[in-house]
């Protein structure tokens, strides 16, 4: 564990590794996006109640999943940075926050676009919508704290504490609002139950979900590399790298 952290936790090593990996993730994500969108928009059937409007599910559901997943990843990376003082984890957490906020915003925006034709309203104060909105505020608060503290090291540790406190709160917020009367449907996909959605819709949905994850992986690696370069701009490896790039 510690040798692993020591080796891959060094900014220099991570920089080179991620420079190699990011294009692969990006390429795979682009391929899956193409395949998923083809399946979603052309192959999958329209819903018997919602008609063509159901196709927004292929963007809405993956981005809602990602909004939660990115928060957990961000808090976990923050925790690793706080406990083992790994610079890469700090940079990773900082790089993920705007992406998570973007996914959250996308989930809210597509949800309200979907809600207008189906529910007849852009917005209701329903459990899931409200907790997703609060999640957006948590991301924005994290980002505001990051910009308010100038020293990167301090900002990363303060952000990690905030993200972890928020992580404890997310399930509480979720269940507190769940007990209001609710309009949003319950979960269709559960871990240990057969899916309540037809295969012709499930396959493009899953392809899109994986494409979203790979997109996140690719972009977060690029952003983390930028963070690391800025953080380590006075160290030897960053200077050598800059010289190397300039000579090319």
Partner 1 sequence: MSASARSGFGGVLRRDLLLGARQRSELANPIIFYVIVIALLVLAVGADAAVLDRLAPPVIWIAALLASTLSLDQVFHQDFADGSLEQLLLSHHPLAVLVAAKIAAHWLLYGVPMMLTALLVTGMLRLPDSALATLLATLLLGTPVFSLIGAVLAALTVGLRGSGLLLPLLILPLYVPLLIFSVGAVEDAARGLPVAGELYLIASVLALSICVMPIAAAAALRARLS
Residues that bind partner 1 (CB under 8 A): 82, 130, 134, 137-138, 140-141, 144-145, 148-149, 154, 157-158, 160-162, 164-166, 168-169, 172-173, 175-177, 179-180
CA 222 to chain centre: 14
Contacts of 92 (CB under 8 A, 6+ apart): 77, 81, 220, 224, 227
**Three-state DSSP string of 78-143:** HHHHHHHCCHHHHHHHHHHHHHHHHHHHHHHHHHHHHHHHHHCCCCCCCHHHHHHHHHHHHHHHHH
CB of 129 to partner 1, least distance (A): 13
13 or 157, CB closer to partner 1? 157
Q: Tell which residue, 193, 8, 224, has the closest CA to residue 99.
A: 224
Closest approach of partner 1 to the CB of residue 125, in Å: 11
Q: Tell me the closest approach of the beta carbon of residue 134 to partner 1, in angstroms.
A: 5
The two structure tokens encoding residue 164: 């972890």
**Nearer Cβ to partner 1, position 36 or 98?**
98
Write down the least CB distance from residue 176 to partner 1, Å: 4
Closer of 49 and 147 to partner 1 (Cβ): 147
Nearest CB to partner 1, comparing residues 165 and 243: 165
Choose between 34 and 172: whose C-beta lies nearer to partner 1: 172
For residue 60, the minimal CB distance to partner 1 (Å) is: 22
48's enclosing H/E stretch is none
Q: Tell me whether residue 105 is exposed, middle or buried, using C-beta atoms within 10 angstroms of its C-beta: 0 to 12, 13 to 18, 19 or more.
A: middle
Calculate Rg over the CA atoms of the chain.
20
We find the least distance from the C-beta atom of residue 169 to partner 1, in angstroms, to be 5
Q: Which CB atom, from 158 or from 207, has the smaller least distance to partner 1?
A: 158
């Amino acid at each position: 564990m510690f040798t692993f952290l020591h080796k891959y936790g060094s900014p220099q090593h991570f920089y080179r590794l991620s420079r190699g990996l990011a294009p692969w993730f990006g390429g795979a994500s682009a391929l899956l996006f193409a395949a998923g969108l083809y399946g979603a928009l052309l192959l999958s059937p329209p819903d018997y109640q919602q008609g063509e409007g159901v196709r927004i599910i292929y963007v809405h559901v993956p981005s809602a999943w990602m909004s939660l997943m990115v928060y957990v990843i961000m808090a976990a990376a923050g925790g690793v940075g706080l406990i083992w003082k790994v610079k890469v984890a700090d940079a990773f957490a900082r790089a993920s926050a705007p992406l998570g906020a973007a996914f959250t915003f996308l989930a809210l925006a597509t949800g309200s676009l979907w809600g207008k034709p189906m529910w007849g309203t852009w917005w209701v104060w329903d459990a899931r919508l409200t907790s997703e909105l609060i999640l957006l505020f948590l991301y924005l608060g994290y980002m505001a704290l990051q910009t308010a503290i100038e020293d990167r090291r301090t900002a990363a540790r303060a952000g990690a504490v905030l993200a972890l406190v928020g992580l404890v709160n997310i399930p509480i917020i979720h269940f507190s609002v769940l007990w209001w009367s609710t309009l949003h449907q319950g979960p269709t996909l559960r871990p240990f139950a057969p899916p309540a959605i037809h295969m012709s819709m499930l396959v493009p949905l899953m392809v899109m979900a994986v494409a979203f994850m790979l997109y996140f992986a690719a972009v977060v690696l690029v952003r983390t590399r930028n963070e690391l370069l800025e953080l380590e701009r006075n160290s030897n490896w960053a200077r050598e790298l800059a010289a190397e790039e300039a000579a090319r």
